[in-house]
Chain A
Amino acid sequence: MSASPNRPVGISAPDIIAAAIALTFGAYALYEARTMSDLGAVFPVTAAIVLIAGATAILALGFMRPANRQTAPPTEWKRFAYAVITLFAWAVLLKPLGFVITSALGMLAITLAARREPMAAKAAALHALNGIILIGAFYAVMRYLLKIAVP
Chain B
Amino acid sequence: MIDALLNAITPFNLALALFGVIAGTFIGALPGLSATMAVAVLVPFTFTMDPASGLIALGAVYTGAIYGGAYSAILVNTPGTPAAIATSMDGFPMAKRGDGDLAVTLSCLGSVVGGMVGALALLLLAPPLSQVALAFGPVEYFWLAIFGLSLIATLSRGNTVKGLVGGAIGLILSCVGSAVVGGDVRFTFGQTPLLGGIPVIPALIGLYCIPVLIDLVIKKEAHLERRAEAVSGFRFTEAVGLMLRSKFNLFRSAVLGTAVGILPAAGGSVAGLIAYSEAKRTSKKPEEFGHGATDGVIASEAANSATVGGGFIPTLVLGIPGTPPDAIILGALLVQGIRTGPQLFTQQADIVYTFVFGLIIGTLFMLPTGLIIGRYAFRLIVSVPKTVLAPSIALLTVIGSFAIESNTVHVVIMVVLGVFGWLIARVGFEASPIVLGLILGPIAEAGFVQAWLIGGAQGSIPAMFFGRPLSLAIIFMIVLTLASPALVNWRRGRMQEKGATP
Contacts and interface: CB of A to CB of B under 8 A. Distances in A.
A115 B412 CA distance: 25
A58 B161 contact: yes
Contacts of B419: 84, 87
B164 A50 contact: yes
A26 B187 CA distance: 12
A55 B402 CA distance: 35
Contact of B391 (A36, A39, A46, A106): A106
Contacts of A95: 408
B253 to A, nearest CB: 29
A146 interface: yes
Contacts of A130: 388, 392
Contacts of A7: none
A83 B428 contact: no
B392 A32 contact: no
B395 interface: yes
Interface residues of A, number: 69
A138 B171 CA distance: 34
B175 interface: yes
A51 B168 CA distance: 6
B218 A75 contact: yes
Given A111-B390, A114-B217, A51 B165 contact: yes
A114 B408 contact: no
B390 A146 contact: no
Interface residues of B, number: 59
Contact of A149 (B390, B391, B392, B406): B406
A51 B408 CA distance: 31
A106 B412 contact: no
Interface string A39-50: 111111011101
A101 interface: no
A113 to B, nearest CB: 5
A121 interface: no
Contacts of A111: 387-388, 390-391
Interface in A56-107: 57-58, 61, 72, 75-76, 79-80, 82-84, 86-88, 90-92, 94-95, 103, 106-107
A55 B414 contact: no
Given A14-B428, A134-B392, A32 B217 contact: no
A36 B449 CA distance: 14
A37 interface: yes
B502 interface: no
B186 interface: yes
Contacts of B453: 39
A44 B170 CA distance: 11
Interface in B400-424: 402-403, 406, 408, 411-412, 414-415, 418-419, 424
A122 interface: no
Contacts of A149: 406
B168 to A, nearest CB: 4
Interface of A: 14-15, 17-18, 21-22, 25-26, 28-29, 32, 36-37, 39-44, 46-48, 50-51, 54-55, 57-58, 61, 72, 75-76, 79-80, 82-84, 86-88, 90-92, 94-95, 103, 106-108, 110-111, 113-116, 119, 127, 130-131, 134-135, 138, 142, 145-146, 148-151
Given A18-B427, A90-B398, A106-B395, 14 more contacts: A21-B427, A29-B172, A37-B179, A39-B179, A40-B179, A41-B184, A47-B169, A87-B210, A90-B394, A110-B217, A114-B216, A114-B391, A134-B392, A149-B406
18 contacts: A14-B426, A18-B162, A18-B427, A21-B169, A25-B172, A37-B182, A40-B186, A42-B445, A44-B186, A44-B187, A46-B171, A58-B162, A83-B218, A88-B412, A88-B415, A107-B392, A127-B388, A145-B41
Interface of B: 37, 41, 161-162, 164-165, 167-169, 171-172, 174-175, 179, 181-182, 184, 186-187, 210, 213-214, 216-218, 220, 386-388, 390-392, 394-395, 398-399, 402-403, 406, 408, 411-412, 414-415, 418-419, 424, 426-429, 437, 441, 444-445, 448-449, 452-453
